A = this chain, B = another copy of it.
Amino acid sequence: MPELDLLEQIAARVKLRPGVAIGIGDDAAVLAGDPAMVATHDLLIEDVHFRASTDFHDLGPKALAVNLSDLAAMGAEPVAALVGLGLPEGRGEVADLYAGMEALAARVGATIAGGDLTAAPCLVIAVTALGRLSRGTAPVCRGGGRPGDWICVTGAVGGAAAGLLALEDPAVGASLAPEAVRRQLRPQPRLAEGRLLREAGAHAMLDVSDGVALDALRLARASGLGAEVDLELLPLGPGVAEVAGRTGRDAQLLAATGGDDYELLVALPAATAIAVAPRLPAGLTRIGRLTGGEPRLRLLRGGREVTPERLGWEHDV
C-alpha cells in the first residue's frame, strides 16, 4: 500500500489533544507554548534508505541533516536530537557514526541529548530532532498556500539524484559529478533560509525530500489548491546535466522527480519572494505557482503538460 494512503489512515485514527498545536501531516509536529517546540522523526533503514556500503562518516550527518531539514521547513531553530541506533554485529564503529553527527550538531548549535542503542539484524538509525520557534511566532505549515502564490525553491535540485546515479551506475562513475555525489552523501539543511522565509511571511513550506514534483503536490493538496511547476524554471544542481546526458535521461525530469535534495519548497506572494530572495544564502528560484481548482499538480514544459512515470520517491509499505 502506498505510504501516503497509510499515513492518511493513521492520521484519521489519532486525535489531537491539548498541548499539541500541529500533529500528523506536516514536516514536524508543533507543541503549544511560547516559544513553541517543534519535533520531527525520521527512520533510516539499511537497504531501504541507504546502502550497506555507505560510510559511517557520511551516514551519521545525513541521518541528522534530513531531520534538521524538517525543522528548517517549519522555520524553526534546532535545539536537540535523540538518536536511536540499531546495530548489527561487526557493522562498523559507532564512534564514526557519532563523529560526523556531532560535528553537524555543533555547526547548527544543537545537542545530541539522548536516544537508544541496541542490537539489530540490520542497521537502523532513528533520529528525532527537536527545535524551537522564535518567541511569539508561528510555524510555516504545508497548507497555508493561496491562489496566485509563487512556488519557489531554495538552492538547486536534482543534484542528489544525479549523485546517486554517479555512485551506483558504473557507466557514470563518481568522478563525473563529484559535487552531485557530495550532495547525495552530505545534504545541507536550509536552516537559515527556513527562518528567513518564515520571518518574511511565507505562506506554506516543506522540504524537498522525495522530489520537487511529489513535494509540490503535497503542498498543493495540503493547501487545497492546484499547482503548476515549469520544468524549464528548475535550477539544476551541478552535475545533473552531465549525469542525465551520460545515462540518457531527461535532466529536468531527473531534477523534478529525484529525491534527497533537502532544499525548501515554498509558496509565497511574488513581492515577498522578490524581497527575501537576495537575503537567502542558497538563493531562491521561482519554479511555478499555486492556482485555484482541483488539488493536483501540472508539470509544464513549453506550456504543455508533461506526465512522468512517477512523481517522486515514495517507499511503499
Interface residues of A (CB under 8 A from B): 3, 6-7, 9-10, 13-20, 22-24, 26, 28-29, 31, 33, 35, 37, 39-43, 45-49, 79-80, 82-87, 94-95, 98-99, 102, 105-106, 109-122, 124, 126, 128, 130, 132, 315-317
B43 touches A82 (CB 8 A): no
Q: Which residue of B lies closest to A20 (CB)?
A: B111
B130 touches A87 (CB 8 A): no
Q: Which residues of B contact A105 (CB under 8 A)?
A: 14, 17
Q: Which residue of B lies closest to A109 (CB)?
A: B17
Q: How far is the CB of A314 from chain B (nearest CB, A)?
A: 10
A20 touches B85 (CB 8 A): no
Q: Which residue of B lies closest to A49 (CB)?
A: B118
CA distance A41 to B85 in the complex (A): 10
A28 touches B114 (CB 8 A): yes
CA distance A111 to B315 in the complex (A): 25
Contact of A39 among B47, B80, B109 (CB under 8 A): B80
Q: Which residues of B contact A18 (CB under 8 A)?
A: 109
Q: Which residues of B contact A33 (CB under 8 A)?
A: 35
CA distance A25 to B29 in the complex (A): 25
Contact of A128 among B15, B22, B24, B128 (CB under 8 A): B128
Q: How far is the CB of A76 from chain B (nearest CB, A)?
A: 12
